[in-house]
Amino acid sequence: MQNDTQPLNDTLVSKSLSAADYVPTLDAMLARTLERIDLKKQQGLRTPDELWIVDHNDVYTLGQAGKEEHILQRTDTPIIKTDRGGQVTWHGHGQLVLYWLFDLDSLKWSVRNLVSHAEQAIEDVINDCLRSSPSSSDNISAHARRDAPGVYLYADTAATDDSTSTDDNSLDNKIMLGKMASLGFKIKHGFSYHGIAINLNCDLSSFNAINPCGYAGMQMLRLSDFVAMQTDSEQTEPDAQTEPDAQTEQTEQTEQQMSDSFSYETVTQKLIDNIAKRHAGLIELRAIAPK
C-alpha cells in the first residue's frame, strides 16, 4: 500500500493509497480523525483537511445500520461491517474512492452541504466527461436524487424525441439508467470521514451478489461504458518487432485513441481539482432540486 501526500491548498492535502485493504485503511482514517478532534479540543489547533484517494482491494462493506439481507450471495470477497451510513456496497480496482476527512465546523458546512458538495462534484466531472467524449450520447447526463444519495445517469427522452433541450437540472422527461456513484459519510464531533465511490472501469459483476446500497434490482453503471477510457494496452509502447512504417501507424492510432479518451488518472485529477475548489470556496453549491 503506497502512501503519497500532496498539498492541494493551504488547508487541504491529498493522500493516495493503492492496493489498499479496507480494515487498515478504515483504522488509519478513524485514528487520524480522532487525533484531529483531540488537537482541536485540547490545543485549539486547526489541522489541514485531508482527501484520501484510494484504490481498494476487493471488499464488500456494510454500513452501520446495514441489513445482511441485502447480501444475496456469499463469495470469497470479504464482508466488513463499518461505521459509515448506508447499506452494503462493493469497492475494488477500477473504482475511484475518495475519503473526505474534513473539519465541517471550520468550513462552515452543514452535513447537508457536505453531501451536496460531494454529489455536485461528481455530477460536474461525469457530465464534463460525457460532453467532452466523441463516443458519448448527447442525451445522457448525471444527476443526484433527493430521495436516494448518490449520482445516477439519466437519458433525456425529450431530447431524443424532438431534438429540443430540456432544463438540465430537471428530471422531468428523463429516464434513469442506473447508478454510477455512491456515498456514505460518518460525522464525529463535526469532523467527517468516509466518502464517495465512482465506478470508472471496474468489473460490475461484483454488484450482482448484493442489493447495492440496499436497493433491490438497482442497475450499477460505470463511466467506461459511456465514454472512451484508456486501457493498459493503449498506454504501452509499440511492439519492437513491428516494421518501422507499421510501428509509426500503430503509434499514431494509439495517440488518436488516447486523445479521444480518458484515463483513470485524468478523471481522478478532474475530481480532485473540483473538490479542492469547493473546499476553498471557489465553487458554490447549486440550488438543490425539489423531491
pLDDT given for residue 247 in this prediction: 55
HSE value, Cβ hemisphere, 13 Å, CA-based, for 71? 17
Can you give the pTM of this predicted structure? 0.88
HSE value, Cβ hemisphere, 13 Å, CA-based, for 49? 25
**Mean pLDDT estimate for the chain:** 89
Taking the C-alpha atoms of residue 146 and residue 185, their distance in angstroms, rounded to an integer, is 16
Q: What percent of the chain has pLDDT over 90?
A: 76
Q: Are 71 and 34 in contact (CB under 8 A)?
A: no
pLDDT digits (tens, 9 = 90+) for 74-99: 999 999 999 999 999 999 999 999 99
Task: Summarize the confidence of residues 256-273 as an average pLDDT.
Answer: 84
pLDDT given for residue 168 in this prediction: 61
pLDDT digits (tens, 9 = 90+) for 198-242: 999 999 999 999 999 999 999 999 999 999 998 755 544 445 565
pLDDT given for residue 173 in this prediction: 82
Does residue 169 have a pLDDT over 50? Answer: yes
Taking the C-alpha atoms of residue 273 and residue 124, their distance in angstroms, rounded to an integer, is 11
pLDDT given for residue 244 in this prediction: 63
pLDDT given for residue 255 in this prediction: 46
Task: Summarize the confidence of residues 154-165 as an average pLDDT.
Answer: 67
Task: Summarize the confidence of residues 46-63 as an average pLDDT.
Answer: 98
Task: Summarize the confidence of residues 121-126 as an average pLDDT.
Answer: 98
pLDDT given for residue 160 in this prediction: 52
Does residue 170 have a pLDDT over 90? Answer: no
End-to-end CA distance of the chain: 41
| Residues paired with residue 198 on neighbouring β-strands, in sequence order | 96, 181
Does residue 286 have a pLDDT over 80? Answer: yes
- Cα 231–Cα 233–Cα 89 angle in degrees, nearest 5: 35
Q: What is the DSSP string of 209-264?
A: GB-GGG-TTPPB--GGGTS-B--GGGGSPPPTTS-HHHHHHHHHHHHHHHHTSB-H
Catalytic member of 213, 218, 220, 267 = 213
pLDDT given for residue 252 in this prediction: 46
Q: What percent of the chain has pLDDT over 70?
A: 84
pLDDT given for residue 4 in this prediction: 82
pLDDT given for residue 133 in this prediction: 80
If you search the block for the grid coordinates 467506461, which residue do you land on?
Answer: 224
pLDDT given for residue 89 in this prediction: 98
Helices 264-279, 111-132: axis angle to 10 degrees equals 140
Catalytic, 129? Answer no
**158 vs 167: which has the higher pLDDT:** 158
Does residue 273 have a pLDDT over 80? Answer: yes
Task: Summarize the confidence of residues 113-123 as an average pLDDT.
Answer: 98
Q: Are 192 and 100 in contact (CB under 8 A)?
A: yes
Taking the C-alpha atoms of residue 200 and residue 268, their distance in angstroms, rounded to an integer, is 9
Does residue 256 have a pLDDT over 50? Answer: no
Can you tell me whether residue 172 is helix, strand or coil? Answer: coil
